[in-house]
Structure 1
Amino acid sequence: MSHLPSAFRHLRTIRKRRALPWLTLGYAAVVLVGALFGAEITLRSKTRWVKGVFVPVGRRGNEVYLPAGAETLSRGVVGVVPIRPNRGHAVLGGGKLAGTLVRRAVLQERGVLPNGALAWVSTFVYNGTPAQLGVAYEDTVVSTPVGDMPAWHIPPTGTVPGHADTLVIVVHGHGGQRAQALRMLPALQRTGTGSLFVTFRNAHGAPRAGKGYLTLGDQEAEDVLAALTWARDHGYKRAVLYGFSMGGNIVLSVLRDRHQPFPIPVQGVALDCPVLDWRATILWQGQRFGLPRLLARHVATFTQWVVTKRSGQDFDTVDQLRAAPKFTLPMILWHGTRDRTIPISQADALAAARPDLIEYHRVEGAKHIRCWNIDPEKYDAQLEAFVGRVLAGGTP
């Protein structure tokens, strides 16, 4: 009997030794699957739909009632588009809980938003073309070496003397669409400039290049350079670049020395929740989905390796924090404190690195590229003032 405890300890040791290879194999499998999944999203993510939810709408006078959910409970402004045969669009103000419903006031309305309609509701507010805002525009294309990129051109309004020679080039993000930036169109119109809402290779609706892989801002910059050529050929004399999420990385990639001189001068850059460091972003995404920090780091490292192996991606070329000392143009930067897609620490670091160039707005409570929704009037005023200042030759 005295030998039993020793025998049990020996048995447990044998079991642990046998289990260790299986645990190691299981851990490696998790890392491999996570990396392959992460690489696929990084390289190919795109969708034909603007993010939102479809819900029934209740209406009483100037108030709308929506079922409570993540999108309908979001802070700030949302948009509502009833499904056909109903036609219309409404912009709704901040929400308040009313039992299991969310009550929001109608701020703007075009057409009819009837009681009982099934409707698309989104913090991106719009899901169509500039016509959804009652704005005249023209469909056009930006010619690039890999094909014609679709774009919307909104001519200058002429409301501000001296600004009609300027084009604001608006670049959407990873997996995004041009409609996501329509919220800012009224402010852009008030600046008196023209605007061109563009897309880039391998995004939804754009030509496929190579294997269809995104390059995270590197080669996509050539499509924005082509938009600058389009601007010159259509009579514009100067430009402002305006990028959202990955679009922010794209417009900052345009500023690299090898792309200069530009077809027309670029006066300034506007950035909304930009991706500035893809390595940190990939790691952040792993932690966001609940992976322990060590596992998330291993998945992120292997994801980067897979991305580079498949596409030849050089992460250094799209590291805008490393490039910050070389920037020379004035910038305005917004980033939300509740951004779970791109860590706000990246925006903090860029603003700290170049306070001489960057006007930074750290928006409390805003999710990814939803800074406008928290306070549209404030955001619009900041954007309009920035455009006015850079066109007058000012800096932050």
Structure 2
Amino acid sequence: MNFRQHFTPKHLPRTVALAAAAYVAAIAVGALVGAEVLLRSKSRWVKGSFLVVGRSGDRLLLPPVPESLSRDVLGVVPLNPVRGHAVIGHVERRGPYVERPVLEERGVIQPGWIAWVSSFVYNGTPAQLDANYENVVVRTDVGDMPAWHVPSVTGERDLIVIQIHGHGGQRSQGLRVLRSLERTGAAQLYVTFRNAFGAPRVGKGHMTLGDVEAEDVLSALEWARGQGYQQAVLMGYSMGGNIALSALRPSFEPLPLPVRGVVLDSPALEWRDVIRRQARRGGLPQFIAKPVGRMIERLVTRRSGQNFDTVDQLAAAPRFGVPILLFHSPSDKTIPYWQAKALAEARPDLVEFHTVEGARHIRCWNIDPERYEAALEAFIRRVTESRRDQL
């Protein structure tokens, strides 16, 4: 008995119907999951791996896992954080263990300890850098947003850099540049926004991908003005970059405090493209990924009222009026590199674009901290001096 004896033309309609049903089900499930992640994603924990740490002099030895083998500068925090913290450099030797040099250390990391190891480097507060800071709240119409205020080392209240974390992220992801910003003489405010971890939940807890969250940044600018600051720079990571640019839209003018520049690290500039990319990255074949992306967009709009045009920063590029420092990597698998390149090409008069080869999403600093910080510090000084020249 062969296949033809079992499969006859009368079976064809049923087979086509089952295939069609499976196709529709795959699109529906993918879209429902994707929409939920886009609307609500937040995490109590900063991404990283818990590993048993070894030591040989000024080198730490780590098991060979993806995080320890990455090209990034890493942070190491013992399970008991009061025992210390270390920043370790790039891989020097691979074998049964991954060997990395200790660049900075607070306390002494002991062999045999279990520690959090991550390219986000810090998972706590500015205390991990022995920084002088205070816990503050930014008052908004929907509740108090927690923030860290790091005063200027000079004591002046002139420029403040407002750090805005990304989708599903936390304030600590910005701590990697705390020391760099201190060297510029700027104060710092690490903020969060509605429906993110640790912040007030509003309505159904839906995020708006930079749209309404921008109002919380306006409140942060209001807070800074109330503290006596004269000017600000906005620094945003991933979705935080979209929030920073959304805060500059004409409907919000005049701003509570003048914004002299914007720093963007791996910014999400056009969300429809990001959605399609993530659907494809999730392993869906192209013929399913495209309709899933379109369905996610429709579901998000229906559930939250999201206006994707409002947060399309590439379309908004002609109206930008402040200098922009932009970091992105062609290796970013979360936010397409072409978006940053398109922004730089659209506004070469404003955008200083730094391509960072080999960096993962919002890990541009980790590949070459010295180069990243040199560009950041030069940008901060330039926009500040530009204001002084105008006075």
TM score, norm. by length of structure 2: 0.96
2:369 to 370, 376, 382: 376
Deviation of residue 98 (structure 1)?
A: 2.6
CA distances 1:297-340 after superposition (whole Å, capped 9, x unpaired): 10000011111111110110011011111111100000122111
| Counterpart in the other structure of 2:172 | 179
Distance 1:234 1:15, change over 3 A: same
| Counterpart in the other structure of 2:51 | 55
What is the rounded CA distance, in whole Å, between the counterparts of 1:324 and 1:12 in structure 2? 59
Deviation of residue 365 (structure 1)?
A: 0.2
| Counterpart in the other structure of 2:84 | 88
| Counterpart in the other structure of 2:30 | 34
| Counterpart in the other structure of 1:333 | 326
| Counterpart in the other structure of 1:273 | 266
2:304 to 297, 306, 311: 311
What is the rounded CA distance, in whole Å, between the counterparts of 2:193 and 2:133 in structure 1? 20
What is the rounded CA distance, in whole Å, between the counterparts of 2:82 and 2:190 in structure 1? 27
Distance 1:65 1:8, change over 3 A: closer
Correspondence 1:21 to 2:17: yes
Look up the SS of the partner of 2:328 in the other structure: strand
| Counterpart in the other structure of 2:127 | 131
Deviation of residue 8 (structure 1)?
A: 4.9
| Counterpart in the other structure of 1:366 | 359
| Counterpart in the other structure of 2:65 | 69
CA distances 1:355-386 after superposition (whole Å, capped 9, x unpaired): 11000011000000000000001100000000
CA distances 1:272-315 after superposition (whole Å, capped 9, x unpaired): 00000110000000111221112101000001111111111011
- Does the 8 Å contact 1:86/1:117 carry over to 2? no
What is the rounded CA distance, in whole Å, between the counterparts of 2:175 and 2:82 in structure 1? 22
Distance 1:117 1:10, change over 3 A: closer
What is the rounded CA distance, in whole Å, between the counterparts of 1:251 and 1:322 in structure 2? 15
Look up the SS of the partner of 2:138 in the other structure: strand
What is the rounded CA distance, in whole Å, between the counterparts of 1:10 and 1:378 in structure 2? 67
Distance 1:8 1:69, change over 3 A: closer
1:145 to 132, 141, 145: 141
Deviation of residue 135 (structure 1)?
A: 0.4
Match of 1:331, as an amino acid?
A: I
What is the rounded CA distance, in whole Å, between the counterparts of 1:18 and 1:237 in structure 2? 71
CA distances 1:205-257 after superposition (whole Å, capped 9, x unpaired): 00011111000000000000000000100000100000000000000000110
2:118 to 109, 113, 122: 122
What is the rounded CA distance, in whole Å, between the counterparts of 2:344 and 2:82 in structure 1? 46
Match of 2:65, as an amino acid?
A: G
Deviation of residue 100 (structure 1)?
A: 2.8
- Does the 8 Å contact 1:142/1:150 carry over to 2? yes
Deviation of residue 168 (structure 1)?
A: 0.4
What is the rounded CA distance, in whole Å, between the counterparts of 1:294 and 1:158 in structure 2? 58
Q: Identify unmatched segments of 5+ residues in structure 1.
A: none
CA RMSD of aligned residues (A): 1.9
Correspondence 1:221 to 2:214: yes
Match of 1:180, as an amino acid?
A: Q
TM score, norm. by length of structure 1: 0.95
CA distances 1:179-203 after superposition (whole Å, capped 9, x unpaired): 0110010011001010000000000
Which 4+ residue blocks in structure 1 deviate beyond 3 angstroms?
7-12
Deviation of residue 11 (structure 1)?
A: 5.3
Look up the SS of the partner of 1:152 in the other structure: strand
| Counterpart in the other structure of 2:254 | 261
- Does the 8 Å contact 1:171/1:197 carry over to 2? yes
CA distances 1:159-182 after superposition (whole Å, capped 9, x unpaired): 9xxx74011000000000000110
Distance 1:15 1:221, change over 3 A: same
When the two structures are aligned, how many residues end up with a matched partner? 388
- Does the 8 Å contact 1:328/1:357 carry over to 2? yes
What is the rounded CA distance, in whole Å, between the counterparts of 2:81 and 2:20 in structure 1? 57
Distance 1:64 1:11, change over 3 A: closer
What is the rounded CA distance, in whole Å, between the counterparts of 2:369 and 2:9 in structure 1? 64
Deviation of residue 76 (structure 1)?
A: 2.7
- Does the 8 Å contact 1:86/1:112 carry over to 2? no
% identity of equivalent residues: 57
- Does the 8 Å contact 1:46/1:175 carry over to 2? yes
Match of 1:311, as an amino acid?
A: S
